[in-house]
C-alpha cells in the first residue's frame, strides 16, 4: 500500500496557533542587500512574535538600523520518521520594544537556550501568515 503525504493549507489563525505552541523558529532579514537567517526562540503575545536577543546580534543591529525592518519568520515541526508535521511562514516587520512597559516580562517568557546576556526585546508584527500541514493520505 502506498501512502502519500498530503499538504493541507492552514488558515492564518490556525497557523498562528501552531506558532504559539512552538518554542523556536528562524528569522530572515536583509543586510546590505544580502539575506541573513538566524534561529531564535520566541513567544507569541497579543498576535505578535516576541524574541529576546542581545544588542550586538546581527538581528538586533539590523532592527536598530531600521525600525520596522521587513522580516520573514519560519517555524516547523516535522516528525523525522513519517515526515508529517507542519510548517508556518510569516512575513512581517520587526521593531525594538525593549522600552515597552511589558518588555521585561515578555522577554522573560522567551525560553533562551544559550546563556548570554539578553538585553533587547524585538516584536515581529505579522502582515501575512501562511502554513502547511503534512498529513498522510493514501
β-pairing, 34-45 vs 85-96, is unpaired
Local structure of 15: helix, strand or coil: helix
Instruction: Pick the closer one to its own copies by CB: 30 or 45.
Output: 30
Biggest alpha carbon distance in the chain? 58
Least distance (Å) between residue 99 CB and its own copies: 25
Instruction: Pick the closer one to its own copies by CB: 14 or 72.
Output: 72
The alpha-carbon radius of gyration of the chain (Å, integer) is 16
Q: Please, what's the b/e burial string for 26-61 (b: 16 or more CB within 10 A of its CB; e: otherwise)?
A: ebbbeeeeeeeeeebbbbbbeebbbbbbeeebebbe
Instruction: Write out the residues near its own copies by the rule CB under 8 A.
Output: 4-5, 7, 23-24, 26, 28-30, 33-39, 70-74, 76, 78, 80, 83, 87, 89, 91, 113-115, 134
Least distance (Å) between residue 86 CB and its own copies: 10
Least distance (Å) between residue 47 CB and its own copies: 20
Least distance (Å) between residue 94 CB and its own copies: 10
Name the phi and psi angles at 15, rounded to 5. Answer: -60, -45
Instruction: Pick the closer one to its own copies by CB: 17 or 24.
Output: 24
Instruction: Pick the closer one to its own copies by CB: 66 or 100.
Output: 66
Amino acid at each position: 500500500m502506498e501512502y502519500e503525504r498530503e499538504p493541507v493549507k492552514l488558515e492564518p489563525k490556525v497557523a498562528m496557533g501552531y506558532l504559539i505552541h512552538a518554542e523556536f523558529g528562524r528569522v530572515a532579514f536583509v543586510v546590505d542587500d544580502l539575506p541573513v537567517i538566524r534561529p531564535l526562540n520566541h513567544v507569541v503575545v497579543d498576535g505578535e512574535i516576541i524574541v529576546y536577543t542581545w544588542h550586538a546580534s546581527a538581528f538586533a543591529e539590523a532592527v536598530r538600523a531600521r525600525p520596522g525592518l521587513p522580516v520573514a519568520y519560519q517555524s516547523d515541526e516535522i516528525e523525522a520518521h513519517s515526515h508529517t508535521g507542519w510548517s508556518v511562514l510569516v512575513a512581517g516587520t520587526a521593531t525594538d520594544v525593549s522600552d515597552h512597559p511589558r518588555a521585561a516580562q515578555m522577554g522573560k517568557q522567551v525560553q533562551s537556550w544559550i546563556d548570554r546576556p539578553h538585553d533587547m526585546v524585538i516584536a515581529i508584527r505579522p502582515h501575512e501568515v501562511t502554513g502547511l500541514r503534512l498529513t498522510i493520505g493514501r
